[in-house]
Amino acid sequence: MRSWFLLLTGLPLLAAAANPCAPAQRAPGTPIEAPHALFEAYVVEVHAPQVSAATFGVLRTRRALVEVVRSYHGPYSPGQQVETLTLDGANTCGAIIESGAHVLVASETGGPFEIIERFTTGAAQPHGPIAALGRAADEQRHSRRPSLKNVSLRGEIEGGLAAQLYSRARPARREQCEISSVGSYAQVTWGKAFGGNDARHKVIFEHTNGSWVEILRYEAPTPTPARGRNRRGSKRTLWAQESGFRRPDVASANSTS
């Protein structure tokens, strides 16, 4: 998973790479921190760059309004609109963002939201374990083992591995739990947060060097409502649809992962 660093004001810095709007490489098994929010969105409006002076030099940023289409982590839901603030320069996403662009947005601590990845047209494959393990609303879940009481399985997970990860995650007794696996990542989640918009607890494992390594253990903070959907609600719901950018596979997705 890509690392996000903060400037003095809390603005995340983008890692420089050959592709200025692609995630930085991460060594397998490296622990990660859960961001405040991570979601897929379309850009609604892009503002002209702003230049400000700072102790470390001139800072050039670009604001953009985005509309959420699929949430992977945090309190935000499809249809909500969020202001982003992204560094604008030769090695940043801010320099290549335009209205209608399909992007991945993150907020490290609940402060500024930053566009951290731009997807090619017709292909959205977010990098990193949190996005990879995100569940679409209509994805099937099942349970095959009596020993996994109150547990549903999703994705490629096998019953024996699910039981092992369940034991290591130590979810609360009698909690409804979901265990999933995609590629080299697996996840155990239980509880509800943000009004049911996300899981309260997440434990993520990564398969590396022949074993499953725990790379994240997360507990949601005291639920804080996301921005109200009533204000400008119709505009939030209809922008992507009217603009022809809405995709059926993500439009109905929620963030319970």
| pLDDT recorded at residue 8 | 28
**Residue 27 is encoded by which pair of tokens?**
């060594």
Which residues does residue 58 pair with via DSSP β-bridges, in sequence order? 53
- φ, ψ of residue 24 to 5 degrees: the values are -75, 155
For 168-193, what is each residue's pLDDT tens digit? 999 988 888 999 998 899 999 999 88
| pLDDT recorded at residue 122 | 62
State the pTM of this model: 0.72
Which residues does residue 60 pair with via DSSP β-bridges, in sequence order? 51
**Residue 98 is encoded by which pair of tokens?**
């335009």
Q: List the chain domain ranges.
A: 5-125+226-251
**Coil, strand or helix at 73:** strand
| pLDDT recorded at residue 44 | 95
Which residues does residue 207 pair with via DSSP β-bridges, in sequence order? 212
pLDDT per residue rounded down to tens, the chain (257 residues): 344 333 323 334 333 345 668 777 889 999 999 999 999 999 999 988 888 766 666 778 889 999 999 899 988 989 999 999 988 877 788 888 889 999 999 998 888 899 998 887 666 676 778 888 876 655 555 555 556 778 888 887 888 999 999 999 999 888 889 999 988 999 999 998 887 888 999 999 999 999 999 999 999 887 555 544 444 444 444 455 556 655 544 444 444 55
- In this structure, which amino acid lies at residue 65? L
Q: How far apart are CA 12 and CA 94, in angstroms?
A: 12
**Residue 164 is encoded by which pair of tokens?**
């092992």
